[in-house]
Structures are given as C-alpha cells and as structure tokens.
Structure 1
Amino acid sequence: MSERAEPADYSDDGTAVPPVPLTGDSAALLLSPRLAQFAAVARAQHVTRAAAELGVPQPTLSRSLARLEADLGVQLLTRHGRRVRLTSSGRTLLAHAERSLLHAERAGRAVREDADPHSGRIAFGFPHTLGPSTVPDLLREFSARYPRIRFQLMQDYGAALLSRLRTGELDLTLISPPPDAPDVTVRRVHRQPLRIVVPAGHPLAGRKRVRLAEVRDDAFVSLPAGYGLRQITERLCAEAGFAPRITFEGEEVETLRGLVAAGLGVALLPAPAVPRPGVVELAADGPGVVREIALIWVNGHRAPAPVEEFRRFLLARRDRLLSG
C-alpha cells in the first residue's frame, strides 16, 4: 500500500470528500469492523496473506485500511517490498485493537455459554422471605439435573424485583403478591400459609388456631411499606375488620421473629425453616390467610435455553406447590 492513505470517500463528480472527524459513537461505529482487519495485516505483515486469512479480496482489504488511515488522519503502515510494517501510530492502535478484540472474543464466548442449555447462566430473583428454604430447595433439585448451569441470585422486595426484571437484570423472578402488570407474564406457583406469630407468654400462646381478629388490639411488627408481605398483612387485617398498629419494622423475617420473642408485638409470617425459641406459631383460622407466590417474566422476550429450562422446571412443580 502507498505511503499516504487515500481519502475515505469521493463525491459523484470524483472530488475527494474530507473524512469525518471520529468522535464518540461515530468512532466506535467506524473503527469496530476494521480493527480485526488491521490486526490481521499487522500480524501477517503482508496484505495479501492477511486477505487470504480473512477470506476477503486483497483490493477490498487495501481500500479498508486506506480508509481507516484517512479517517484517523495518521499513517499506520509502511510498505517495504511485499511486506508492511507498523508505524509508531500503528503500534499504538494495534495494542488497543488487540485488547478490544480480546474483550469481544470473551463477550462472544460468554454469550454462547449463557445460551448453552446445559452450562448457561440464569439471573433469578426472589423475595427475602423465600431465601431460607424454598428457593434453596428448588435450586438443589434443579442443579442436580443441570450441574453446569450457573445462577446469579438477587433478593429484594417486590417492586424492586419487578423493576430489575423490566431492565433486564433478571431473567425470572418469584414475587408476592402477584403484580397486575400488562408487560409481564404471571404464573402462580405457590400458595403459602401464613402463621400468626406471638410471644411465648402471650394469652393466645396455648391455642393451636386463632382468628386474625383476636390480635386486633396487639401491636404488630412487620416488614417496611412496599414489601409484599406488608401489603398482604394490611389487606388481611382489613378483611378481618381492623388496621394493624405497626410499632416496629424490620427487613428480615427472622428479625421480626426476634422482635416478637422480645414481646414487642405479634406478626403475620410464613412458617420458619427452623423453629425459633420464644415464639409460638399459630395457625390462622379462616380461609385465605395465605400469600400467593408467582413466577413472572417479561412479555415478548425470547429466553435463552437455560432460562427456558428453569422456567419449565418451576412451572412443572406448580400443581404440587399450589396444593401444598
């Protein structure tokens, strides 16, 4: 190739059109497809050999390199017989190009691995209250079948999980109560009974079943406003004819049980994985004292193979969980 690069383009009358300065996104768009070509020529030190390796005609490759030099406004290569050598600017660009190409290769490999139904990655969300046993049990069973699939787990409250799903941070999430949102698919997968949790010395502690209205005069401890279990507590209490007087809030269910054990209130909670001393878990008398848990995903989004496999796995257990 010549010592000086040719202009990047020509107008209809054959006059040279000055190259457009490379800034911001325009630089990325113009440089990206040419970096691999430039790197191939730099490694081969020969345009014809590089063209053969890339599977493109030699004139096409020469023109692409000339346009690259014109767009950048520097000379990248010098010809010495049939071989080419890098200029100082060429060596600088090659160092950056090789790093960029390595990152692109790794990104492509990661995407291919994520799409592999047997060794991909799943971003899965769920409320804190499902962390102690429900989710670990499901993951243990699934991972026994697909040991090479990796999980990125995120715990948060309902509104935050829904937001992360919409932004693409999550592939799937469990949520309670199920949202009424047109942009997501909702499939109810679990109906979890709730317990009325009272201190061991509470007047109702000797009973096995109580009505929610029987603790209407007690102080309540609960999760903060915005959490799904808090919404369910307020709704069920309203259906029982009262508004709960919430005196303490905590972000973890076991913290709430500790507050109950300390005599600071009662709570409406799912059954614990391990019984906690100092509290009594009472069955709630009457229908509907449960929380429904749904699996949701964004509409119109084609899920990678491992995500689809995990979704089928969870939905296959829906009948068993809903009847439990």
Structure 2
Amino acid sequence: MVHQQRSAARLSPSSDTEDTTDMGMLLAPRLAHFAGVARTEHVTRAAQEMNVPQSTLSRAMARLEQDLGVDLFARHGRTVSLTPAGRTFLTSVERALAEVQRAADEVRADADAATGKVAFGFLHTMGAETVPGLLHAFRADHPRVRFGLVQNHGEAMLEGLRAGQLDLCLTSPVPDAPDLVARRLDEQKLRLVVPAEHRLAGRRRVRLAEAAEETFVTLEPGYGLRRITDALCREAGFRPRVAFEGEEAETLRGLVAAGLGVALLPPPTVPRPGVVELAVTAPRAVREIGVAWLADREDTPPVAAFKKFLLSRRGALLPD
C-alpha cells in the first residue's frame, strides 16, 4: 500500500462541501511549516530557519498527518524524508504557497504610494476628453501611479464600488446612499439635439416643452442620463415618447442626425454633422457630476492621492 492510512474517524471521506471547506481552513496555517520541513528534511533545521520552537513544529507536523489521515514523513532519527503521499502533497502545497505569495506581492504593489494602482470608473460621455485630461494632470505629480479604467453607466459603477472592483467613480446623478460617500464636483449643461432639417433647427434656445410632441431617442433605463431626461421632461409637463434606446451618447447623436428623433445630451467632444444643439432655457437642464467611493473603506496611498486631486477640481472638472 502506497499511503499508510491513519485512523481518523472524524475525517472519514465525505462529498459534503462544508467538510471540504473546513479541511481547507484546518490545514492552511500549517502548510508553510510542512513545506519548510520538506525542504530541509530536518525538523530542527526547519524550526531554526522559520524561527519557531522545534516542539511546536513537531506537533504541527504530527497534527497535520493526523488531520489528513496519512503519513507524510518517514522518520530517521533526527532527519525525515517524504513518503510518496508527502511528495504528492508537497507539489500542491508549493503551488498554493507560490500563488499566495504572488497575490501578496500584487496587492502590496497596488498599494505602493509611488507606483500603486487606482481602479477608476467613469461615464462613457467623459471618456473622450474629461478623463484623459484629469489623468494627464494628476500624473504630472504622480508619474508612475497606474490606473485600471472602467467605463460604464452610473448604477453599474456603484455596484462595482460595493463589490470592491472600483476604488472611485465619476458618475451622475450624484448618488445618495448610506453605504457610499459622494461629493459634487461640477455640473454640465444638457442640450436639446435636433436634426439639421428640424423645425427648431434655426433656433439657438428652446423651452423643453416645445419638444413635447417630438419622438425622443434616449439611453436605456438605469442610466443616469435617462433618469435626468425623464425628470426634466416631467418638469416641462410631458412624458417623452421614446422610439430608440441606446447605451452611448454619440450613438444617440447619430440617430438624431438620421432624423429618428431628438435627444437631451451633454455637449459633444467634436461637433457632429447633421445635428443642431439648442440651449434649453426652461427647465434648467443640467446634470451634476460627482465622485463616489465606498464608506468606511480605507484608501491606499495612490487612491487617497487621486481622491484628493479630484476634490481639488471642484467647479473645474469639465472643460468650458
């Protein structure tokens, strides 16, 4: 028999998931000790290298074998050698310890003040100009800080904060939730975008109520700009008739240019042929832009530096 079995009734084979989880928790603290003894093949030498009492290490190895129900070591006086079961176990233990070390190195690197990483989310409409400008300005003083960038709609980014996938996000409307901290940074005027041949295209300004009979193209429900559009139309006294729903503002501009409707949108980065952008005089058509983060989460140094930078841009976040 290759593996000498130890009697351990409490560890009888089971397919129960909870038993498997408990075994992992039971074994994990002793894996590094096992690898040290296996590497030196000498308990005393391993204890000296790991700076633990020899008696503690000996008891840990005996308990590990008892928990597994197999002999991992053959004893030869003061030295030990791995059994076939021990060699099999060591292969996986070394792989697991290397992965833990890699993960530890990675999270330490991400938290480094000079070269760490910030997971930063922002709205699609801020990706072409606003965010690149912000990152360029920030890296003037923090040239080696790295960024993981995520473009998405507001609700998805807030869920990313809660799931630990994002450190900070720029979003609109500014969220109000007990588990989040949010600060208003700026506001952006929205315009009524109409086709170039539209009846209102010769105007510079318009009341939103004048578009009450128009067909609208909008972002999908759940997007912040969609909620703002619905609220502004409601304030103007009508409910918009929505013909097309999309996921990106410039796609909506293309639909407007094709004569498929009108839209309330922030200013474009580059003027779009085929449309006219009208200032809305009533109601006041703006969207607030804010930065949000998860409450009670301690910032790493690079995240703290970037948060401070964003808050310093209040009132000057967006291009004129």
TM-score w.r.t. the length of structure 1 is 0.90
- Aligned residue in 2 for 1:233: 229
Whole-angstrom CA distance in 2 between matches of 1:249 and 1:144:
39
For residues 79-125 of structure 1, what are the alpha-carbon distances to aligned partners after superposition, in whole Å with 9 as ceiling and x for unaligned? 23432111100101110110011011111111111211222222222
More moved, 145-154 vs 111-120 = 145-154
Structure 1 residues 5, 249: CA separation in 2 closer, same or farther (over 3 Å shift)?
Answer: closer
Correspondence 1:179 to 2:175? yes
Q: Which runs of 5+ in 2 are unaligned?
A: 14-18
What is the Cα-based RMSD across aligned positions, in Å?
2.1
1:305 aligns with 301
Structure 2 counterpart SS, 1:268: strand
Q: Could you tell me which residue of structure 1 aligns to residue 34 of structure 2?
A: 38
Q: Tell me how far apart the structure 2 counterparts of residues 67 and 183 of structure 1 sit (CA, whole Å).
A: 43
Residue 203 of structure 1 corresponds to: 199
The answer to which of 221-230 and 81-90 deviates more is 81-90
**Segment of structure 1 superposing worse, 63-72 or 154-163:** 154-163
Deviation at 1:284, TM superposition (A): 1.9
- In structure 2, the partner of 1:27 is 23
Amino acid at match of 1:239: E
1:145 to 121, 141, 144: 141
Q: Which residue of structure 1 lines up, in the alignment, with residue 16 of structure 2?
A: none
Q: What amino acid is aligned across from residue 174 of structure 1 in structure 2? A: L
What SS does the aligned partner of 1:320 have?
coil
For residues 5 and 82 of structure 1, the distance between their equivalents in structure 2, rounded to whole angstroms, comes to 23
Moved more, 101-110 or 167-176: 167-176
1:117 aligns with 2:95: no
Cα distance, 1:229 vs structure 2: 0.6
Consecutive unaligned residues of structure 1, counting only runs of 5 or more, are 8-16
**Which residue does 1:283 correspond to in 2?**
279
Tell me, in whole angstroms, the C-alpha distance in 2 between the residues paired with 1:300 and 1:137.
29
- Cα shift at 1:176: 0.9
What is the alpha-carbon distance in structure 2 between the residues aligned to residue 99 and residue 321 of structure 1? 47
Out of 129, 151, 154, the residue aligned to residue 155 of structure 1 is 151
Secondary structure of 1:319's partner? coil
Contact 1:199 1:266 in 2 (8 A): yes
**Aligned partners of 2:303, 2:179: CA distance in 1, in Å?**
18
Task: Work out the number of aligned pairs and report it.
Answer: 312
**Aligned: 1:107 with 2:103:** yes
The CA distance in 2 between the partners of 1:42 and 1:145, in whole Å, is 48
> Hey, what does 1:68 align to over in structure 2?
64
What letter is aligned with 2:135? L
**1:32: Cα distance to partner?**
1.1
The residue aligned with 1:13 is: none
Preserved CA contact (<8 Å) 1:213 1:237: yes
**8 Å contact 1:19–1:70 — kept in the other structure?**
no
Q: What is the aligned counterpart of 1:274 among 248, 266, 270?
A: 270
Aligned counterpart, 1:11: none
Per-residue CA shift, 1:39-70, capped at 9, x if unaligned? 11111111111000000111111111111111
- Structure 1 residues 243 and 18, CA gap change in structure 2 (3 angstroms): closer
Return the offset for 1:144. 3.3
In structure 2, distance between residues paired with 1:186 and 1:287: 25
CA distance in structure 2 between the partners assigned to 1:234 and 1:18 by the alignment: 66
Give the Cα separation in 1 of the matches to 2:178 and 2:71. 56
Summarize the alignment of residues 239-278 of structure 1 with structure 2, pairs less than 5 Å apart.
239-278=235-274
Provide the C-alpha distance between the structure 1 equivalents of 2:160 and 2:249, rounded to a whole number of angstroms: 22
Alignment check: 8 A CA contact 1:5 1:69 kept: no
Deviation, 1:143, is 2.8
Shift of 1:21: 5.3
Residues 191 and 323, structure 1, Cα contact 8 Å, conserved in 2: no
Do 1:114 and 1:121's aligned partners in 2 also have CA atoms closer than 8 Å? yes
1:98 corresponding residue in structure 2? 94
